[in-house]
């Protein structure tokens, strides 16, 4: 090959440059290949009774068949779950949260005492980014009995805890190493307990669960992080707090709460991706309520109420989970005793239309979660001791059972982490 002198110089310079960069190219390719081979992990929280081989046991509420936090590798194509270990705990780690960096996991331990002290606890774990295993960092008081829900504030600097049996909420600071500090704030719910019969209960319902005491059931910040909302099932209220990111303190909003129909029992809620629509599910009333959320004032205004059940249903039912699809097109509602997931289409104005329901292939669906792609839904059938896997039809919202189960004693909650990212 005959090249002009200038072209030969350019060719030689390019060749030298490429030869020097070759190790970097190989290194990057190797790293990408290694990352691609890392698994998608699922962590399943459970109701777990104290174990003889766990020294730090506590009395849990309720006792359960789980063995702590169960780990699984997920087949990205089929959704199937392969057991990958158990982080053994006897404290009912019933609700889990993973930080945005995928390096820390937090669990509520749904207990009523720590040692001789009357309160539950929250655990912090470091996640091994190679295999997804958990290394305990520390454990602190939850600020009340029976912590049942944990979420991470959008700042990443605080955990928000709802204590079901204690009727309280707490804010826990996250330290630089991911461990937890003592609560920066604890608020105790107070007010008039609602009636034992729900206003909107189905005909023939004897559903009664939480109208004996205050019961904080869920807590989460709004998308901006300026407000924190929590529900109290026993009081039939959703509380709204202003949140100070510097101090981790809560102060009552100008309109501090909104009431649901007496006895209906708000349990969980989910914001629409647009941040303006807010959906609440009522445990004893078996309803979904659409609220308009004013992000500037932090206020809720109800606009629609719809049953979670098919029109012909009669009898008792306890609602559980509510999820809005990431594309904002569908809402999914959990029904225990009816053992179904109600499927609802979201209209252009946010209002819901009932499309149908899917049997959960188990008993008492306590919660369900989407995998990171939204292609699969994983349902924790608490009393069936299994997690059932469904393929999500993103066009119609329908759920199609994949014939995949995972055996887990009293599963309560599932979260995911993609170790390839």
Instruction: Please tell me whether residues 326 and 193 are part of one structural domain.
Output: yes
Band of residue 64 on the pLDDT scale cut at 50, 70, 90: confident
Q: Can you give the length of the chain in residues?
A: 421
Task: Determine, yes or no, domain membership for 97.
Answer: yes
Q: Is residue 314 part of a domain?
A: yes
Give the per-residue pLDDT at 49.
78
Asked if residue 17 belongs to a domain, the reply is no
Same domain, 229 and 295: yes
What's residue 384's pLDDT? 96
- Point out which residues pair with 277 in neighbouring strands: 292
Same domain, 129 and 213: no
> Are 52 and 103 found together in one domain?
yes
Co-location of 133 and 244 in the same domain: no
Q: Which of 114-123, 298-307, 399-408 has the lowest mean pLDDT?
A: 114-123
Residue 58's pLDDT band, with cuts at 50, 70 and 90, is very low
> What mean pLDDT do residues 138-152 have?
95
Asked if 371 and 378 touch (Cβ cutoff 8 Å), the reply is yes
In a domain, 26, yes or no: no
Do 49 and 133 sit in the same domain of this protein? yes
Looking at the structure, tell me whether residues 160 and 291 fall in a common domain: no
* Pair (76, 152) in one structural domain: yes
* Banded model confidence at residue 86, pLDDT cuts 50, 70, 90: very high
Tracing tokens 């008993």 back to the chain, one arrives at: 363
The answer for 257, left when phi > 0, alpha when psi is -120 to 50, beta otherwise, is: beta
Q: Identify the CA nearest to 99 among candidates 176, 182, 45, 184.
A: 176
- How far apart are the C-alpha atoms of 122 and 137, rounded to whole Å? 11
192 DSSP assignment: P
Whether the pLDDT of residue 272 is over 60: the answer is yes
Range with the poorest average pLDDT among 9-18, 147-156, 291-300? 9-18
Q: Are 191 and 207 in contact (CB under 8 A)?
A: no
Q: Is residue 299 part of a domain?
A: yes
Round the average pLDDT of the chain to a whole number and report it: 90
| Last residue of one domain, picked from the residues 320, 339, 359 | 359
Pairwise CA distance, residues 368 & 321, whole Å: 7
- Taking alpha carbons only, the member of 408, 337, 345 closest to residue 379 is 408
Domain-embedded: residue 86: yes
The pLDDT-based confidence of 277 (bands split at 50, 70, 90) is very high
Cβ atoms within 10 Å of 114's Cβ, excluding its own: 19
The whole-number pLDDT of residue 119 equals 76
- Please state which of the ranges 49-53, 85-89, 350-354, 359-363 shows the lowest mean pLDDT: 49-53
Q: Is the pLDDT of residue 60 over 70?
A: no
The domain boundary, picked from 339, 359, 379, lies at 359
CATH number of the domain bearing residue 161: 2.130.10.10
Q: Domains in the chain: how many in total?
A: 2
Domain range for 136: 38-174+408-421
Task: Give the domain-ending residue among 323, 341, 359.
Answer: 359
Residue 52: Cβ within 10 Å count: 7
Mean pLDDT across the stretch 384-396?
98
Task: Please provide the distance, in angstroms rounded to a whole number, between the alpha carbons at the two ends of the chain.
Answer: 45
Query: Does residue 201 sit in the same domain as residue 305?
Result: yes
């Amino acid at each position: 090959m005959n090249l002009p002198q200038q072209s030969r110089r350019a060719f030689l310079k390019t060749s030298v440059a490429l030869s020097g960069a070759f190790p970097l190219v190989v290194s990057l390719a190797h790293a990408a290949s290694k990352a691609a081979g890392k698994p998608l992990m699922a962590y399943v929280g459970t109701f777990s009774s104290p174990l003889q081989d766990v020294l730090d046991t506590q009395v849990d509420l309720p006792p359960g068949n789980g063995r702590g936090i169960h780990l699984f590798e997920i087949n990205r194509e089929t959704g199937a779950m392969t057991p990958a270990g158990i982080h053994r705990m006897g404290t009912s780690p019933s609700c889990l949260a993973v930080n945005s960096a995928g390096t820390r996991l937090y669990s509520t331990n749904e207990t009523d005492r720590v040692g001789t002290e009357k309160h539950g606890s929250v655990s912090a774990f470091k996640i091994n980014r190679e295999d997804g295993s958990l290394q305990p960092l520390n454990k602190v008081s939850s600020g009340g009995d029976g912590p049942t829900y944990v979420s991470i504030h959008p700042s990443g600097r605080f955990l928000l805890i709802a204590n079901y049996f204690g009727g309280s909420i707490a804010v826990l600071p996250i330290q630089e190493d991911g461990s937890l500090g003592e609560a920066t704030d604890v608020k105790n719910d107070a007010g008039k307990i609602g009636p034992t019969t729900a206003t909107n209960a189905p005909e023939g319902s004897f559903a009664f669960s939480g109208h004996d005491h205050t019961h904080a059931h869920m807590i989460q910040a709004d998308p901006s992080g300026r407000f924190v909302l929590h529900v109290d099932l026993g009081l039939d209220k959703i509380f709204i707090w202003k949140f100070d990111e510097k101090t981790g303190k809560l102060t009552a909003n100008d309109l501090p709460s909104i009431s649901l129909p007496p006895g209906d029992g708000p349990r969980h809620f989910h914001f629409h991706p647009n941040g303006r629509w807010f959906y609440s599910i009522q445990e004893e009333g078996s309803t979904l309520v659409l609220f308009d959320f004013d992000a500037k004032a932090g206020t809720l205004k109800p606009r629609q109420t719809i049953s979670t059940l098919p029109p012909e249903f009669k009898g008792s039912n306890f609602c559980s989970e509510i999820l809005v699809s990431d594309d904002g097109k569908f809402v999914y509602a959990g029904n225990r005793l009816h053992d179904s997931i109600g499927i609802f289409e979201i209209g252009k104005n946010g209002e819901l239309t009932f499309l149908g329901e899917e049997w959960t292939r188990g008993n008492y669906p306590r919660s369900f979660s989407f995998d990171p792609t939204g292609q699969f839904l994983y349902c924790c059938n608490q009393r069936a001791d299994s997690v059932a896997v469904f393929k999500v039809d993103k066009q119609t919202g329908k759920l199609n059972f994949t014939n995949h189960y995972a055996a887990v004693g009293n599963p309560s909650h599932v979260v995911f982490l993609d170790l390839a990212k």
